[in-house]
Amino acid sequence: MSRFIAALVYRKRIGSMARKSILAYCAERANDDGTGIWASKVRIANEVECSKQTVISTLNAFVEEGVMVEVGKRRSPHGYTIEYAINVSAVMQLEDAFEDPFSTGETRGPKLDGSNELTPRGQTAGPQEVKPVDPNRPRTVLKPSYSPKPPEGDDDLFSASGQPTPENGDGAEAKKPDSIEESFEKFWKAYPKKAGKPNALKAWKAAIKHADPDRIISGAERYAEWLSSAAPGEFRPQPKYPQGWLNDHRWTEFEDSANGEPREEDLSRHQHAMLLDGRVPPSMADDNGRPNAAAQYWLKKFGYGRAA
């Protein structure tokens, strides 16, 4: 697409709306020298919204007038199509569509001979000084107004070289976080039901986007402990499949606060109201509709004894 030739066509009087539309269509598909135009007459007619015969007669007229040139034939799925080129010099000689009050008689835009361009007011745009740019610092870098200095004395955390000293332990290498597979194996070892491992791994990859792996593993350990620590006659459901447990974020039901007990402020307003009435919120029920560990804790705390 040549924006220069397309703009040139729009600035000239072509003779009619159909002629200008067809020539502009060709200009938008031409190279900067006007060559490389090939499109079927049917396609031009469909996109310009005129008849095929209008396209044929208009292109033939452009060739006769010297505005366009037939370059040759190109093969197509339906035979061949004619390749055209726009005679840019001929288009430049056409009458302007409007009078530019700032025009000096020169044609604006890039010159085909590579000479200087003209500004929108007809003035030659001379060369401007270009400052070299450091390839290693192409952008402006904002520096802080001051550089903090490490404290001096016996409590200095850094040695004279500016590096952490091994005496205070900061010089030791940081512990490398476990990979996804390694952290999953820790979860798999802690979880009480070993089934559907491939699907559980997919659920694990999704779960660790929402919570720290150690947090989930800790929840799995407490879940396993809760299942195995039922008092005589106290109900405990069968362990959930690990995939469903992870997808439902069930580890949040077995998280401890700083003092080792769940916090009442962590309950939603709806959960709190239902538990105060002795009812089990749907979000705190297991697959059989029975209260989960968190619900049992709060029901007991609110004075409803052991949930059935």
Domain limits for position 63: 3-92
Domain assignment of residue 142, yes or no = no
Domain assignment of residue 175, yes or no = no
Domain assignment of residue 49, yes or no = yes
* Last-in-domain residue among 92, 108, 138: 92
The first and second tokens of residue 87, run together, are 């005679």
Based on the fold, state whether residues 184 and 296 are members of the same structural domain.
Answer: yes
Distance CA 95, CA 15 (A): 10
* Last-in-domain residue among 92, 109, 136: 92
Of residues 133 and 288, more confidence is placed in 288
Of residues 35 and 81, more confidence is placed in 35
Task: Give the per-residue pLDDT at 143.
Answer: 62
- Number of domains within the chain: 2
Task: Give the per-residue pLDDT at 150.
Answer: 55
Task: Give the per-residue pLDDT at 308.
Answer: 41
Query: Is residue 132 pLDDT above 90, yes or no?
Result: no
Task: Give the per-residue pLDDT at 159.
Answer: 47
Of residues 295 and 216, more confidence is placed in 216
Task: Give the per-residue pLDDT at 75.
Answer: 79
Based on the fold, state whether residues 185 and 85 are members of the same structural domain.
Answer: no
Q: Which CATH number is 60's domain given?
A: 1.10.10.10
Across the beta sheet with 68-76, the strand order is 37-38, 79-86, 68-76
Domain assignment of residue 116, yes or no = no
Task: Give the per-residue pLDDT at 203.
Answer: 92
Q: pLDDT for 4-22, tens place per residue?
A: 888 888 988 998 999 999 9
Domain assignment of residue 133, yes or no = no
Task: Give the per-residue pLDDT at 74.
Answer: 82
User: Ramachandran region of residue 130, left (φ > 0), alpha (ψ -120 to 50) or beta?
Assistant: beta
* Last-in-domain residue among 65, 92, 119: 92
Task: Give the per-residue pLDDT at 259.
Answer: 45
Pick from 43-52, 118-127, 288-297 the range whose average pLDDT is largest: 43-52
